[in-house]
Chains A and B, each alone.
Chain A
Amino acid sequence: MYVAVKGGEAAILATHDLLAEARRGDNAVPELSTDQIREQLGLAVARVMNEGSLYDPRLAALALKQAQGDAIEAAFLIRAWRTTLARFGSSLPLDTAQMAIRRRVSATYKDLPGGQVLGPTYDYTHRLLDFSLAADASEIPCRPPSSEPLAGSMPRVPDILGREGLMESEVPPADDGRPFDLTRDPVSFPAGRDVRLQSLARGDEGFLLGLAYSVQRGFGGNHPFAGEIRMGEVAVEIVPDELGFAIDIGDITVTECQMVNQFTGSADQPPQFTRGYGLVFGHAERKAMSMSIVDRALKGSELGEAARYPAQQEEFVLYHADNVEAAGFVEHLKLPHYVDFQGELELIRKLRRELEEQRAGRSSTPHVEKKEGAE
């Protein structure tokens, strides 16, 4: 009845209580602590930090708890928090060559200076459910450190190729000022590489994975080689105006992926390899790899390649990669649309009435179809 049309403030407040109840689950089961989430669901925490665009494992863990483990909802919470924070400066570019490596693999060289460092990974596990994890509390003994320390120098694979001139060089432009900040300024097209990389770094992992996959399957021309994937801790440095020199403000965990792609050369450039770049917070290899493949696909316009496929089309990728925006707009269809729907009802009844009148009268009938969705 008509009363049902009215939302009612009390009903809305009741949903908050029901949500809190659903979030807590069975009260007989001990409550999850955010420390547990941070320590034991680290990959989920990394995803929320990436898509929420904020490096803070503690807050990401809180967001995951509040969102009942929904990564997109958690990223949304982080973004809404992040938007209120003051910007006090930009860091210097991270020097990932100086990373404290925990994992580093290359698919282009069997061996290379520094060697392959396998680190913590699911890659070589068999995906069999481990029922021992379902049993209560087990303490994992710490592996004794390797008798041989890691090499002091771990050059990045594209740098090795670059020394021979085989890899496109990526030198910052002379007037390289502050990078564009897409959370502060509206993006216009064509967008710069800084905008693209920012957008991809916060983009939805699933969306980028699908796009990267499409490139590999033929909806895009690149054949990527995983030149290198490395994960570990890097120092963040800033230069405060008051000091005029760089100070280290702490370490963050990042995953970096550099894809090596063939490029046959153009009128201006000799044949050489081109690079796709991915850099993300925490341990997030799938995301870093997807990002680097899509980055390379979007570079096509600068290399004179035709943009035939979705992954190569900048507006398509950048507008649709943001899952917080996408989720908001898709889910806004839950909001009432009865005013517009009434307009559609009225129109479709009118068109049907006219069609019937025409049928009753003369023979010829226009073909009635409907278009346009809700907004």
Chain B
Amino acid sequence: MTGQIPSGDAMPTVNYAYLDEQTKRMIRRALLKAVAVPGYQVPFGSREMPLARGWGTGGIQVTASIIGPDDKLKVIDQGSDDTTNAVSIRRFFARVANVETTEATGEATIIQTRHRVPEHPLTAGQILVYQVPQPEPLRKLEPSELETRKMHAWAEYGLMHVRLYEDIARFGHVATTYSYPVLVNGRHVMSPSPIPKFDNPKMGQSPALQLFGAGREKRIYAIPPWTEVKSLDFEDRPFEVQRWDEPCALCGAADSYLDEVIIDDAGGHMFVCSDSHYCEERRKAGHAGAMLATSTGGKLAASNGGDR
């Protein structure tokens, strides 16, 4: 009981940005509510998308609801524009929304991301759309949705603090390195999505609008610009971010999140910026890390920064 099968390998005739206008309107209403109550998870009628659940369908639906032909879209995964799923999502929007794409953080009006906040500071007017696998920060403590919704309603977050305390008691540290829970606007404990805790401080008092879409779990939440976002901690055990002993091997940055890359069979490794655009910009500006000083390093950098 369907319409006709479209001929050839063409996309079925679908609306601009894939979603129909009613659906976009429904999602925009959820977004408005989310912005009005920062950090609160708004249930929404998440649609089934032509990309797999868990592969960014929440972020894709949010982006599809806010994007227009004048936007410039950047998509990153693990900080990079060139990872497989980022390429796939960027191609999707180029195809269904006829939108200009970019890798430059500063030029993008919408940045859809998985697992990172770009290093380049965001500016007013930009929108950062996070893909969220599990929107419920309390889920690992309480599996039932019925219960966790009550806990949020009553701001009953003691359990979370006990967990952090137990980590410190057992390991000497909070043993959470990503999805590190935050308190938004002094009211809702929120999952920042699995970004490294390194990125948590970038979420607070940001001039940009931050939107979070969890497609499989059917939730949307938001952090409006200039909102307080506090990573949970204790007075005598303040929140800390990751630090590396060495800077990026390609651009020499000492202030960025680094990925470890194995470079030989003996497990030798180098550290490079996770944010590939940030790294490239720095190299263009003349910064050089340790690997660029050697001849192999020069070759590596050339193939890395090659044609796109």
Report which A residues bind B (CB closer than 8 A).
1-3, 5-9, 12, 54-56, 58-59, 62, 76, 79-86, 183-190, 249-250, 315, 319, 324-325, 327-332, 335-340, 342-347, 350-351, 354, 366-368, 370-372, 374-375
| B115→A347 contact, CB < 8 A | no
Query: Which residues does chain A contribute within 8 Å of B77, judged by CB atoms?
Result: 335-336
How many angstroms between the C-alpha atoms of A184 and B19 in the bound complex?
Answer: 12
Q: B295 at interface (Cβ–Cβ under 8 A)?
A: no
B45, B78, B79, B276, most chain A CB atoms within 10 A = B78
| B173→A343 contact, CB < 8 A | no
How many angstroms between the C-alpha atoms of A76 and B170 in the bound complex?
Answer: 44
Q: B55 at interface (Cβ–Cβ under 8 A)?
A: yes
| B54→A328 contact, CB < 8 A | yes
Which stretch from B122-130, B225-233, B256-264 is at the chain A interface? B256-264
B2, B170, B197, most chain A CB atoms within 10 A = B2
Tell which of A325, A340, A350, A354 touches B196, judged by Cβ atoms closer than 8 Å.
Answer: A340
Known A5-B80, A84-B12, A330-B54; further 12 A-B contacts with Cβ < 8 A: A3-B300, A5-B259, A81-B12, A84-B15, A85-B2, A186-B44, A189-B145, A324-B52, A332-B54, A337-B78, A371-B175, A375-B134
Q: List 10 A-B contacts (CB under 8 A).
A: A5-B80, A12-B87, A82-B48, A84-B12, A184-B45, A187-B218, A332-B53, A338-B260, A347-B173, A354-B172
What are the 6 A-B residue pairs with the smallest beta carbon separation, nearest first? A328-B53, A343-B177, A332-B54, A328-B52, A186-B43, A329-B54
Closest beta carbon of chain B to A367's beta carbon, Å: 7
Closest A-chain residue to B216, C-beta based? A325
How many angstroms between the C-alpha atoms of A62 and B55 in the bound complex?
Answer: 24
In the complex, chain B residues 228-266 whose Cβ is within 8 Å of any chain A Cβ: 242, 244, 250, 257-261, 263
| A346→B47 contact, CB < 8 A | no
Query: Which residues does chain A contribute within 8 Å of B116, judged by CB atoms?
Result: 339
| A346→B146 contact, CB < 8 A | no
| A7→B84 contact, CB < 8 A | yes
A59, A190, A332, A370, most chain B CB atoms within 10 A = A332
Known contacts A2-B261, A315-B144; is-contact A339 B78 (Cβ 8 Å): yes
Tell which of B145, B171, B216 touches A329, judged by Cβ atoms closer than 8 Å.
Answer: B216
Closest beta carbon of chain B to A242's beta carbon, Å: 19
| B52→A331 contact, CB < 8 A | yes
| B304→A332 contact, CB < 8 A | no
| B179→A375 contact, CB < 8 A | yes
Closest beta carbon of chain B to A77's beta carbon, Å: 8
Residue-wise interface mask of B (46-67) relative to A, using a CB-CB cutoff of 8 A (1 in contact, 0 not): 1111101111010000000000
Q: B103 at interface (Cβ–Cβ under 8 A)?
A: no
| A340→B194 contact, CB < 8 A | yes
Q: B20 at interface (Cβ–Cβ under 8 A)?
A: yes
How many angstroms between the C-alpha atoms of A95 and B272 in the bound complex?
Answer: 65
Closest beta carbon of chain B to A105's beta carbon, Å: 29
Query: Which residues does chain B contribute within 8 Å of A190, judged by CB atoms?
Result: 146
Query: Which residues does chain A contribute within 8 Å of B303, judged by CB atoms?
Result: 3
Query: Which residues does chain B contribute within 8 Å of A83, judged by CB atoms?
Result: 47-49
Q: B83 at interface (Cβ–Cβ under 8 A)?
A: yes
Query: Which residues does chain A contribute within 8 Å of B43, judged by CB atoms?
Result: 186, 188
| B85→A79 contact, CB < 8 A | no
Known contacts A7-B82, A337-B115; is-contact A62 B5 (Cβ 8 Å): yes
Tell which of B5, B18, B79, B82 touches A8, judged by Cβ atoms closer than 8 Å.
Answer: B82
Q: B205 at interface (Cβ–Cβ under 8 A)?
A: no
Closest B-chain residue to A76, C-beta based? B52
How many angstroms between the C-alpha atoms of A174 and B90 in the bound complex?
Answer: 49
| A1→B300 contact, CB < 8 A | yes
How many angstroms between the C-alpha atoms of A328 and B217 in the bound complex?
Answer: 12
Residue-wise interface mask of B (269-306) relative to A, using a CB-CB cutoff of 8 A (1 in contact, 0 not): 01010101000000000000000000000001001100
Query: Which residues does chain A contribute within 8 Å of B176, judged by CB atoms?
Result: 372
Closest A-chain residue to B264, C-beta based? A1
| B133→A183 contact, CB < 8 A | no
Closest B-chain residue to A187, C-beta based? B218
